Structure 1
Amino acid sequence: MTGLAAIRRAAVLAPHPDDEVLGCGGTMARLAAAGAEVHVVIATRGRPPRYSDAYMDRVMDEARAAHAVLGVHRTHYLDLPAAALDTLPAAEINARIGDCLDVIAPDTLFVPFVGDIHLDHQIAFTSAMVWARPRHAGAPARVLAYETLSETNWYAPGVTPGFQPNLFVDVSDHIEQKIDAFAAFESQAKPFPDERSPEAIRALATLRGATVYCAAAEAFVAIREIWRGR
């Protein structure tokens, strides 16, 4: 099997709740509809005084609702400090993310792009890549980096790594699920022309789709793919 048909268990690493929907919600829905087991790993949780417990409980409830729309098999919460991953030892972050991914044992790993402007995204990417090193047969066969509206395009391409997709997933039949899932994040959704709006999500999917002659698509940077067996 090749392409999406080869994916039977996927893990999507989200630095914060909603990154996974913005980045690959359509692909998650398509995988789930095809019978694949889709896991989401939410790495961080906001903490007082910056974020109240009541606010974060609301956001996590929104995440659960969004994932139900997409058909997510299970959501894993690591509860590392949001907007503060740089205050923790790298070994601790690597261990928390790695232990969770060990349990999931995904054949495919979706990660945030290393060139995202948010430092949490960059650190999550690095920790995921530490875990994904192909040093044993259980390493993921595919590692794909997704783009996150309002993160991937806000850094300084040319000075910092630019998102140059080389893999596209047709999500024409699932773009409405993606938009409905993001709508569940009422605390995060913004009115257009903010990028975190239904209109902007649809516009990006339309642009990525037109790039490869389909109605809607999500774009990725394929970091690694391993073809095992004879």
Structure 2
Amino acid sequence: MFSTARNTLVVAAHPDDEMLGCGGTLARLSAQGAHITILLLGEGPLARGTEAADARANARLSAQRAASVLGVGTADVHFASLPDNRFDTVSLLDIIQRIESLAGRVQPDLVLTHHAGDMNQDHRLTHQAVMTAFRPLPDSNPLSILGFEVLSSTEYTPPQTAPPFCPNVFVDISVTLEKKCLALQEYASEMRPWPHPRSIEAVKHLAALRGCFCGCEAAEAFILYRTLL
């Protein structure tokens, strides 16, 4: 799947979700020569007045700098500017169409997005919109869709209330974990000190744990939602 992926599209709800969820995998794909496109649906941290404009500008700049650490061009980072933590105030069709518009230009063979059962409603709606945008119509291009986990969201959901994150695909990021951490440092305003789950230490611990699941030093975990062999 990863060895043949040439065009990867990441659809994430907020700036930093893409790096927390699959930064090591993106670094690995980039090193293999794959073209990576990132769509960030949300506008970034919620703020008001001039602080809001500054926060949005900083989030965009952080996203571009983080992507460049992994070898992704700034022109390949796209922003939909949906209201933070208020995706439910936007028509689902509007979200789907934003994804479809970019997907039509990118023609991805690999799509990475959120797990269906995250605590954050923006994450859940992003997942729903992606699955709808890439519904398997007869004339659609074959692709694989994987869902990632996001620290401080995925693990907060009680298993009785939503589908639990039970990964069945693992990507060895032993070589690219440090790049992922460097990219996350570009999101300094979003990262927190240990033992918060959104800390560099927690990112490394999770990578080590996922690595134990598949026999390597560090890994990122995904749920395979669809593929065509």
TM-score (norm 2): 0.94
The equivalent of 2:227 in structure 1 is 225
The equivalent of 1:49 in structure 2 is 48
After TM superposition, give the deviation of residue 48 of structure 1 in Å: 5.1
Secondary structure (helix, strand or coil) at the match of 1:153 reads helix
Residues 137/31 of structure 1: CA separation in 2 closer, same or farther (3 Å cut): farther
Secondary structure (helix, strand or coil) at the match of 2:3 reads helix
The question of whether the paired residues in 2 share the 8 Å contact of 1:108 and 1:140 is answered with no
The equivalent of 1:213 in structure 2 is 215
Secondary structure (helix, strand or coil) at the match of 1:165 reads coil
The equivalent of 2:21 in structure 1 is 23
Residues 143/109 of structure 1: CA separation in 2 closer, same or farther (3 Å cut): same
After TM superposition, give the deviation of residue 139 of structure 1 in Å: 3.3
1:18-97 equivalences under 5 Å are 18-46=16-44, 49=48, 52-73=52-73, 74-97=76-99
Count of paired positions: 225
Secondary structure (helix, strand or coil) at the match of 1:52 reads helix
Between stretches 91-100 and 136-145, larger displacement belongs to 136-145
After TM superposition, give the deviation of residue 137 of structure 1 in Å: 4.2
The question of whether the paired residues in 1 share the 8 Å contact of 2:13 and 2:123 is answered with yes
Gapped regions of structure 1 (runs ≥ 5): none
Calculate percent identity across the aligned residue pairs: 36
After TM superposition, give the deviation of residue 91 of structure 1 in Å: 1.4
After TM superposition, give the deviation of residue 116 of structure 1 in Å: 0.5
The question of whether the paired residues in 2 share the 8 Å contact of 1:105 and 1:138 is answered with no
Gapped regions of structure 2 (runs ≥ 5): none
CA distance in 1, matches of 2:152, 2:171: 20
Q: Is 1:14–2:12 an aligned residue pair?
A: yes
The question of whether the paired residues in 1 share the 8 Å contact of 2:96 and 2:132 is answered with yes
User: Which of structure 1's runs of 4+ aligned residues deviate more than 4 A?
Assistant: none
TM-score (norm 1): 0.94
- Which amino acid in structure 1 is aligned with residue 36 of structure 2? V
